[in-house]
Amino acid sequence: MGEVIKGSRVRGQRVRKTEIKPDLSVNIAGIEMKNPVMTASGTFGYGIEYAPYIDLNRLGAIVLKGLSARPRKGNPPPRICETPSGMLNAIGLENIGAEAFIKEKLPLLRKYDTKIILNIFGDSIPEYVEVAEILDKVDGITGLEINISCPNVQKGGMVFGTDPVTASEVLTAVRNATSLPLIAKLSPNVTDITTFAKIAEDSGCNAVSLINTLLGMAVDIRTRRPMLANITGGLSGPAIKPVALRMVWQASKAVKIPVIGIGGIMTADDAIEFLLVGARAVQIGTANFVNPTATVDIIEGIEKYLTKNNLSDINQIIGRVVI
């Protein structure tokens, strides 16, 4: 991000301040991004949905809705409900499948000058491997993010990402199935997040992203039924930010691979908190629903924060929390 002379021709004023635009670029898992702001899987559709609201070229990277090898219908409605400063979702990983994605959606995305990262999942290790293989070496795909917050159907529905052994198995298997940069997306529903960050590192993943949603529930006291047809769902939004920030801080100290911070980021201030505790990039999820221009607003806000603090490079704040 070179130097930009600002204000020099603005309305022919006498103010001729030379302002150096801070360098926001980061390299995560071998992926060069213009800035550390990515979208979070499942909250940005297949990307195109947001094109009427923001210039997709401005994003550091776009992470798309989780893909499986075959299309998935997802859970019956109601699938979402609001909670204090948060929301629960049990979409059930509805998606059109990796093949359809490549045919129908990817061509629309290729024209944008941003990195496309695909979030993948499966019900079993072979399924994870299958989707990774389908997407490997497809033009326009820069990296994969593995969602391990999925139930392992072969092992009685236990979630991959909450058991060290299965987590290690699925990450290693996917690692061997693709040469793309690999991000392990961790589940927060664990006693010790650092265990799983280390497992990701040891399995050869190039980065970890966290957090996925916290498992939650809500009940409609009028009908006495759960608010979600699926009974439980994933909690996201500002409510979870303190938990996410704590886990990102812990994970950043535990591993050398880059950590991507996710969870309740609504504003640039929130994003900066994550960068300060060690995240090298952030993902914006639920905020997109509330404010479709959230990502771009956050990029601009981070830039302003750096400028205001006379910092020229985003790396000057990453991990710089004062303890």
Partner 1 sequence: MKAEILSHLNLTGPYYKLKLYSPHIYKNAMPGQFAMLRVGETSDPLLRRPFSIHKKNPDKTIEILYKIVGKGTRLLSTLVKGKDMDIIGPLGNGFVIDKKIKNHILIAGGIGIAPLLFLAHELSRDKRSRITLFLGARHKEDILCIQNFKRLKARINISTEDGSLGKQGLISELFEVSLADLNEQKIAVYSCGPNNMLREIHRLAAAKGLPCQVSLEARMGCGIGACLGCVVEGKEGYEKVCTDGPVFDAGEVEWGRL
Ligand X SMILES: Cc1cc2nc3c(=O)[nH]c(=O)nc-3n(C[C@H](O)[C@H](O)[C@H](O)COP(=O)(O)O)c2cc1C
Where do contacts with its own copies occur on this chain (CB under 8 A)?
83-86, 88, 162, 189-192, 214-219, 221, 223-226, 231-232, 235, 237-243, 245-246, 249, 264, 269, 272-273, 276-277, 305, 317, 320-323
Rounded distance, CA 130 to CA 21, Å?
43
* Nearest distance, CB of residue 120 and ligand X, angstroms: 9
**Which residue among 255, 285, 295, 299 contacts ligand X (CB under 6 A)?**
285
**Which residue among 22, 29, 38, 42 contacts ligand X (CB under 6 A)?**
42
Rounded distance, CA 5 to CA 18, Å?
5
Positive or negative torsion for Cα 197, 198, 199, 204: positive
* Residue whose CB is less far from its own copies, 17 or 225: 225
3-state SS assignment for residue 269: helix
Query: Is 191 buried (19+), middle (13-18) or exposed (0-12) by CB count in 10 A?
Result: exposed
* Nearest distance, CB of residue 43 and ligand X, angstroms: 5
Q: x-or-dash pattern for partner 1, window 280-319, by CB under 8 A?
A: ------x-xxxxx---------------------------
Q: x-or-dash pattern for ligand X, window 295-314, by CB under 6 A?
A: --------------------
* Nearest distance, CB of residue 16 and its own copies, angstroms: 30
Rounded distance, CA 78 to CA 268, Å?
32
Q: Is-catalytic flag, 150? A: yes
With a CB cutoff of 8 Å and minimum separation 6, the contacts of 61 are 31, 33, 38, 39, 114, 115, 116, 117, 142, 143, 281
In total, the chain counts a number of residues equal to 323
* Residue whose CB is less far from its own copies, 131 or 239: 239
The H-or-E segment that residue 148 falls in is none
**Which residue among 142, 187, 236, 250 contacts ligand X (CB under 6 A)?**
236
The set of catalytic residues is 150
